Amino acid sequence: MRTTPAIALAAAIMGPASAEGTGFAKPNMVLHQPVDGLPTAARQDVRVMTAVFKPGDRTITHTHPFPVTVYVLEGAFTLELEGRAPIVVRAGEALVEPPHVKMTGYNRTDAQTRVIIFYVSDVGTPFLHPSR
């Protein structure tokens, strides 16, 4: 019996009992969270971006029209959301930035921080809107 990519993926997702001894990679759940505000059009833009923050670097103060998922590859990322306590996300962790909330992201450590940013939006929607 030939193993197809779809069978390999199904075995990996179903867990160790069904994939045990098969040599298939099993995904590691980093973040599972219900999210409001995702686009609902029949077509969306998908953006995957990377960013490097040197010690002390920060983003501009901004909002996003749709949720943004940030995965930290290296270092620690601090997100300050208006009206909320700061959130610190370390290497191997992820967070979802809510839409329409004023925020600024920081590297408050003395080491470099690297992140991957995932953004799904209506076609042509800007990634962010600068705020004051």
Determine the pLDDT at residue 132: 83
* 106, 55 contact by CB (below 8 A): no
Number of domains comprising the chain: 2
Tokens of 14: 């179903």
H helices present in 1-132, as ranges:
5-14, 16-19
Task: Name every residue whose Cβ is closer than 8 Å to that of residue 70 and which is 6 or more positions away in sequence.
Answer: 77, 79, 89, 94, 95, 96, 97, 105, 115, 116, 117, 118
| Domain that residue 69 falls in | 37-130
* Spatial separation of the C-alpha atoms in residues 76 and 53, rounded to whole Å: 10
Residue count (the chain): 132
* Spatial separation of the C-alpha atoms in residues 97 and 64, rounded to whole Å: 8
Predicted confidence (pLDDT) at residue 19 exceeds the cutoff of 60: no
* 37, 96 contact by CB (below 8 A): no
Question: pTM value?
Answer: 0.81
- Tell me: do 23 and 42 sit in the same domain: no
- Tell me: do 25 and 48 sit in the same domain: no
Q: What share of the chain is helix, strand, coil (3-state, %, to 5)?
A: 10, 40, 50
Q: Give pLDDT tens digits for 26-63.
A: 999 999 999 999 999 999 999 999 999 999 999 999 99
- Tell me: do 95 and 67 sit in the same domain: yes
- Tell me: do 18 and 69 sit in the same domain: no
Least confident residue range of 20-29, 48-57, 120-129:
20-29
CATH at residue 71: 2.60.120.10
Determine the pLDDT at residue 1: 46
- Tell me: do 26 and 68 sit in the same domain: no
